[in-house]
A and B are shown apart, each in its own frame.
Chain A
Amino acid sequence: MNYKLYLPGQTTVQRAHRIISGVSPQIKCEITRTSEPATGCSWSLSVDVEQNDLEYVLSALQMNGITVQRITTENGVPWGGRVRAW
């Protein structure tokens, strides 16, 4: 499943990319330029993971001080999952 994680700036997106690649180099993760009116985010990460793995990815980001502004599925539907604590 492809999810879009919206983050505030390109530098944060770049660090998030490094963290996700560190969690698992197998995860397909790509930085994309975006224009997202709901949050004003200009950058996002396209992450190809199962829902269960997404929660781990989000926890890893949270542990590194990165808060994802918004998450949508590949067709733009907001994702309603919760970040699970480690």
Chain B
Amino acid sequence: MVNFDNAATTFPKPKVVVDSVAEALNYYGGNPGRSGHKLSLQTAEKIYETREKAASFFNAYPENVVFTLNCTHALNLAVKGVADDRGEIIISSLEHNSVARPAVYKAKSEHNIAIAHVSDNDDETIKNIRKKITSKTRVIVFTLGSNVTGRITPYRRIGELCAKNNICFIADAAQAAGVIPIDIKKDNINILCCPGHKGLYGPPGTGMLITDGKYPIKPILQGGTGSESLSLHQPEYMPDALESGTVNTSGIIGLGAGIDFVTSLGLDNIYRHEFGLCERFLRKISQIADVIVYMNINYGKYLPIVLFNINGMKSSETAGVLSEKGFALRGGLHCSGLAHKSIGTAPNGAVRFSPSIFNSEKEVDDLTAAINDIINGR
């Protein structure tokens, strides 16, 4: 099976990641942060190494790296934990449900939500955000790059806007982390949420919340942290405040290996390879009658994603037939109803092509041939 559904989770994983997970399960069996014996301390050291790697990768303090179950978990922590006073939240028209749903949940009790339209023109997008900012705006949650259209938002300018207006900027880096450069200090990102299992090539069940520390985050879970155990209150210092319960040791150690893998290849090389495959695919399917493509892609403006449909077929049906032919692509709405409404592909959705560093030009050509077969065989 050739995986072109890497925007959902990257697969295959690099050998170094697989090996490090196996090593963790074989040798790092202590519960980190809980005991003073060597088994626990050695495991804690490995966990800290990943924290350091993530901190260095995104330019943060290691204490401000919080390990989560996934990006959704991190976004829930951020949106619910920061937006705790009466105020307004601005989200983008391209948000995934992992942003939209927690924001709406929060809005039911306390907040109003404004949706800023993401245009193909960055100036327009910034203008749209400005129009939505009021004296009550406390938080802007914006994707760095859409999981549907691939559009990279003008996140550095959004960060500047937030800093100038004293608004907390929560960045959803679900698709962007490990693909484009992110520096939370330079980019004025207050809270970055990202998965470990996508562009960072870590195992499923890993994610991170990384904060610059400016806006305190209230926990949504309380429990054991291995610290201040006599107190019945959650510690307020990071990362203990937001990391209750035993962490995913093998996953986090694997994530550390994934970050090393990405660092060693270089973001530019990864992006160039994946974008090149998208260009090739787009060029080929654009020549096929009955294929509808929903986007243009420009280098540096789009993440490596191509969205398409076959005329007269539901997206889920196309994805199903391609699966039978040995290709994994995702049809439907990609958990992003807002984005599909915004580009006019709801409710049918579309088929998403999302390569990884492990895909080749030959695989793209084979996929194109399979799409041709489907159309010619009707």
Mark A residues whose CB is within 8 Å of B. Answer: 8-12, 14-15, 18, 31-35, 37, 40-43, 65
Contact = CB atoms under 8 A, between A and B. Distances in A.
A42 B239 contact: no
Interface residues of B, number: 25
B48 interface: yes
A10 B33 contact: yes
B36 A15 contact: no
A27 B41 CA distance: 19
B235 to A, nearest CB: 7
Interface of B: 32-33, 35-36, 41, 44-45, 48, 51-52, 61-63, 225-231, 235, 237-240
B62 A42 contact: no
A14 B237 contact: no
B272 to A, nearest CB: 34
B62 to A, nearest CB: 5
B181 to A, nearest CB: 24
A31 B235 contact: no
B239 A11 contact: yes
Contacts of A31: 41
A10 B235 CA distance: 12
Given A8-B227, A9-B238, A32-B36, 4 more contacts: A8-B237, A11-B62, A11-B238, A14-B44
Contacts of B63: 9, 11-12, 15
7 contacts: A9-B237, A10-B227, A11-B62, A14-B48, A15-B62, A40-B231, A41-B228
Nearest to A7: B237
Nearest to B32: A10
Contacts of A37: 230
A76 B60 CA distance: 35
A10 B62 CA distance: 11
Q: Which of A11, A37, A43 lies at the interface centre, i.e. has the most chain B CB atoms within 10 A of its CB?
A: A11
Contacts of A8: 227-228, 235, 237, 240
Given A31-B41, A33-B35, A65-B61, A11 B231 contact: no
Nearest to A14: B48
A15 B45 CA distance: 10
A6 B62 CA distance: 19
